[in-house]
């Protein structure tokens, strides 16, 4: 049990954990102290001085963010000390002397710490005779289409540079000059093709409007939007993120305006700038043969199509559907004696089978590793937030572009046995297929038996949950596709568009022509669903209460976007329509593999992110870049 000390804050005694700072102790006990530079996920900078308190024992003012608690310490905050209030007012006065009156046009208005603190603690009038025209310091163009920096608004809190260095490890920003002339500057320009990973964390942690997101610029005000927290399912990490959206009233349009991290700072470019994929060409209602249908009518239609045992049916699951839908599909496939497959059966499934009873290590287990070995294609591009928790020595077997930020040491697979300590071997599952995946899995099993943790890393959000539920029931994807191309499968029920990343467009066209029924569950009204005889909406982030099996464990989404179709209820309804029917899931296994491998890129890891205009622009800028240097 942690050692405790007793301190007094504003005449009230508290027992707090030794080693914590005065600011942390105050915040944990509900005592508000203003600050700019402090953030619970970042190192202490002590740059802004706004968190000043009076330490009675030594009769002086100290900054609370960098002062550890001590037994018998007596502290006074602005609540009980006029001296503290005057000092905080002076600091705000100094900041506002050179801060432009941009609030009417600044995107941070309504959630700006300087704006709020000025109203609560600071002077309500300008007390220094400096005109607006004199409030200038050198502007630095970041040369970015996505991030914009206003030097005059900057309070030099160093949050952005610390987040970039300590959380992301991209080292894309630094502070140039000193004092009033300090500016936040990219290490390499243009910013969009630098080591910056466009995670947007610098925008989020900035306490003022010095760093803003250009795609959000001038679109709305924070107080006009609704905000909810949910889980991201764009990769297997399972980060908690915030979505800000409008409902189509006088305040805002009916769309998602932006995404942000929580104070855990777990977010990457796919979520931060990929939010526009939630707004484009959405399929929000079910259709059959080109006509909108009610849920009840469509369930009856699908029951008649899938319930005929003379016809063969296969379900092609996606790595983005929640566990509840997978369970419903397994039940339906059993009742209709159908096949179950997924494109990931050719890579992740083969690796996991060779490892035996596979369970991925959690984020907490990953953080404790002595070293890391990256195997296969770029790990940072596949699951960016995983790289934030990779703080030890990194070795590499394979190739990587964004992984260069770790300065990895290239080794062979055989060299892992000679490494000292307990490590985590991170394998990019999309890099290995078929027999190659099986052979690698067997070699990884030997490392697992020696105490190393093996992290098979898919690129999709719920492959762990998918594998756990169908590992004994699945058919190989290529066997199902070839059987369908021969006309031996009559109906194909395809979830998402994962299959388009493994097969050429010509093959998809041939499938659509040979099938009697192509039933597609998709978030989008174009793409694969254009060829479908029946199309059913599929939920994205903020549209489902489904659970996902991730590196953060079992996480549950939230359904709050007003246009969301409840696909979990739909598939449960269809499952119930087959109640009482008994069959057996058919299984096809073989050695064939699809002709394509999924593309691994920081700004394009799936058919969902491909829909994002923001990410597509970043992808086009960076697709030919093979090396990022500071």
Average pLDDT of the chain, as a whole number: 94
User: What backbone phi and psi angles, to 5 degrees, belong to 219?
Assistant: -80, -40
Is residue 103 within 8 Å of residue 196, measured between CB atoms?
no
Per DSSP, the residues of 295-355 read HHHHHHHHHHHHT-TTS-EEEE--TTS-HHHHHHHHHHHHHHT-EEE-GGGGTHHHHHHHH
Banded model confidence at residue 206, pLDDT cuts 50, 70, 90: very high
Residue bearing the bigger pLDDT, 96 or 255? 255
**Residue extents of the structural domains in the chain:** 4-96, 287-342+474-598, 352-461
CATH of 352-461, one of 2.70.150, 3.30.300, 3.40.50, 3.30.1330: 3.40.50
Q: Model confidence over 41-92: pLDDT tens digits?
A: 999 999 999 999 999 999 999 999 999 999 999 999 999 999 999 999 989 9
Report the C-alpha gap between 438 and 350 in whole angstroms: 5
Closest alpha carbon to 359 in 467, 502, 211, 462: 467
Q: Tokens 């009697």, residue?
A: 516
Retrieve residue 134's tokens.
Answer: 């004199």
Number of other CB atoms surrounding residue 584 within 10 Å: 11
Those residues with Cβ within 8 angstroms of residue 461's Cβ, 6 or more apart along the chain or in another chain: 232, 233, 234, 235, 236, 238, 319, 320, 548, 550
SS3 label, residue 362: coil
SS3 label, residue 257: strand
- Please state, for a pLDDT cut of 70, what percent of the chain lies above it: 97
C-alpha distances in Å from residue 595, one per residue of 437, 439, 478? 15, 19, 9
Report the C-alpha gap between 177 and 191 in whole angstroms: 19
Banded model confidence at residue 309, pLDDT cuts 50, 70, 90: low
Retrieve residue 143's tokens.
Answer: 């040369």
Helix (H) or strand (E) holding 455: strand 453-457
Q: Model confidence over 601-617: pLDDT tens digits?
A: 999 999 999 999 999 99
For 481-507, the three-class secondary structure string (H helix, E strand, C coil) is HHHHHCCCCCEEEEECCHHHHCCCHHH
Q: Which pLDDT does position 477 carry in this prediction?
A: 97
CATH of 287-342+474-598, one of 3.90.79.10, 3.40.50.2000, 3.40.50.10420, 3.40.50.740: 3.40.50.740
Q: Which pLDDT does position 131 carry in this prediction?
A: 64
β-pair partners for 5? 16
SS3 label, residue 608: coil
DSSP state of 486: T
Helix (H) or strand (E) holding 613: helix 613-622
Which region, left, alpha or beta, applies to residue 290 given φ > 0 means left and ψ of -120 to 50 means alpha? left
Report the C-alpha gap between 34 and 31 in whole angstroms: 10
Is residue 509 within 8 Å of residue 494, measured between CB atoms?
no
Tell me whether domains 287-342+474-598 and 352-461 share a fold: yes
Helix (H) or strand (E) holding 454: strand 453-457
Query: Is 90 exceeded by the pLDDT of residue 135?
Result: no
The model's pTM: 0.95
Q: Which pLDDT does position 626 carry in this prediction?
A: 87
Q: What is the CA radius of gyration of the chain?
A: 27
Query: Is 80 exceeded by the pLDDT of residue 98?
Result: no
Give mean pLDDT, residues 230-239: 97
Give mean pLDDT, residues 281-296: 96
Q: Model confidence over 440-480: pLDDT tens digits?
A: 999 999 999 888 999 999 999 999 999 999 999 999 999 99
SS3 label, residue 546: coil
Q: Model confidence over 141-192: pLDDT tens digits?
A: 999 999 999 998 999 999 999 999 999 999 999 999 887 788 999 999 999 9
b (16+ CB within 10 A) / e for 222-240: eeebeeeebbbbbbbbbbb
Report the C-alpha gap between 620 and 430 in whole angstroms: 22
Retrieve residue 260's tokens.
Answer: 């942000």
Report the C-alpha gap between 61 and 366 in whole angstroms: 41
Is residue 231 within 8 Å of residue 557, measured between CB atoms?
yes
Report the C-alpha gap between 9 and 615 in whole angstroms: 49
Which region, left, alpha or beta, applies to residue 623 given φ > 0 means left and ψ of -120 to 50 means alpha? alpha
Q: Which pLDDT does position 310 carry in this prediction?
A: 65
Q: Which pLDDT does position 133 carry in this prediction?
A: 61
CATH 3.10.20.740 is held by the domain 4-96: yes
Query: Is 90 exceeded by the pLDDT of residue 539?
Result: yes
């Amino acid at each position: 049990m942690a050692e405790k000390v007793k301190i007094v804050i504003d005449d009230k005694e508290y027992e707090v954990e030794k080693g914590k700072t005065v600011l942390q102790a105050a915040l944990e006990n509900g005592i508000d102290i203003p600050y700019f530079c402090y953030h619970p996920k970042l190192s202490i900078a002590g740059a802004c001085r706004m968190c000043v308190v009076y330490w009675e024992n030594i009769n002086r003012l100290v900054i609370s963010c960098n002062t550890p608690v001590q037994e018998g310490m007596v502290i006074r905050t602005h609540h009980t000390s006029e001296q503290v209030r005057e000092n905080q007012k002076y600091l705000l006065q100094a900041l506002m002397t050179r801060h432009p009156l941009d609030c009417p046009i600044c995107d941070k208005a309504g959630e700006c710490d300087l704006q709020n603190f000025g109203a609560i603690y600071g002077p309500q009038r300008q007390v220094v005779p400096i005109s607006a025209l004199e409030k200038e310091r050198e502007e630095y163009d970041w040369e970015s289409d996505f991030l914009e920096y206003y030097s005059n608004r900057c309070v030099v809190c160093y949050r952005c540079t610390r987040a970039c260095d300590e959380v992301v490890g991209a080292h894309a920003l630094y502070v140039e000059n000193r004092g009033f002339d300090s500016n936040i500057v990219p290490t390499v320009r243009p910013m969009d093709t630098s080591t910056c990973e466009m995670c947007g964390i610098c925008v989020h942690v900035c306490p003022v409007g010095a760093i803003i997101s250009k795609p959000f610029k001038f679109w709305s005000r924070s107080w006009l939007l609704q905000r909810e927290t949910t889980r991201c399912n764009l990769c297997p990490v399972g980060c908690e993120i915030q979505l800000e959206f409008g409902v189509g009233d006088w305040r805002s349009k009916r769309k998602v305006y932006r995404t942000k991290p929580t104070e855990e700072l777990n977010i990457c470019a796919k979520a931060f700038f990929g939010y526009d994929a939630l707004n484009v060409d959405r399929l929000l209602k079910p259709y059959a043969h080109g006509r909108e249908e009610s849920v009840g009518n469509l369930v009856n239609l699908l029951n008649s199509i899938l319930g005929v045992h003379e016809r063969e049916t296969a379900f092609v699951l996606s790595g983005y559907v929640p566990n509840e839908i997978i369970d419903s599909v397994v039940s339906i496939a059993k009742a209709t004696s159908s096949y179950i497959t997924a494109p990931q059966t050719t890579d992740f499934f083969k690796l996991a089978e060779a490892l035996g009873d596979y369970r991925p290590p959690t984020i907490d287990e990953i953080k404790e590793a002595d070293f890391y070995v990256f195997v296969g294609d770029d790990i940072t591009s596949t699951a960016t937030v995983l790289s934030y928790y990779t703080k030890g020595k990194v070795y590499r077997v394979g190739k990587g572009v964004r992984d260069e930020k770790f300065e990895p040491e290239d080794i062979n697979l055989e060299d892992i046995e000679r490494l000292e300590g307990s490590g985590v071997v991170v394998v990019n599952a999309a890099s290995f297929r078929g027999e190659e995946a099986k052979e690698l899995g067997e070699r990884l099993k030997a490392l697992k038996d020696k105490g190393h943790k093996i992290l098979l890393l898919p690129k999709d959000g719920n492959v762990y949950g998918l594998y756990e539920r169908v590992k004994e029931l699945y058919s190989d994807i290529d066997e199902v596709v070839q059987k369908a191309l021969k006309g031996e499968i009559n109906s194909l029920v395809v979830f998402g568009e994962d299959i388009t990343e493994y097969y050429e467009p010509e093959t998809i066209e041939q499938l659509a022509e040979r099938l009697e029924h192509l039933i597609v569950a998709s978030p989008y009204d174009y793409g694969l669903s254009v060829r479908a005889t029946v199309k059913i909406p599929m939920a994205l982030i903020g549209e489902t209460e489904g659970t996902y099996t991730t590196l953060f464990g079992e996480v549950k989404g939230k359904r709050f976007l007003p246009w969301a179709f409840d696909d979990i209820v739909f598939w449960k309804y269809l499952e119930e329509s087959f109640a009482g029917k008994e069959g057996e899931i058919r299984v096809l296994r073989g050695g064939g593999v699809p002709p394509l491998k999924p593309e691994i890129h920081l700004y394009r890891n799936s058919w969902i992110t491909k829909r994002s205009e923001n990410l597509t622009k970043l992808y086009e800028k960076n697709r030919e870049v093979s090396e990022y240097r500071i």
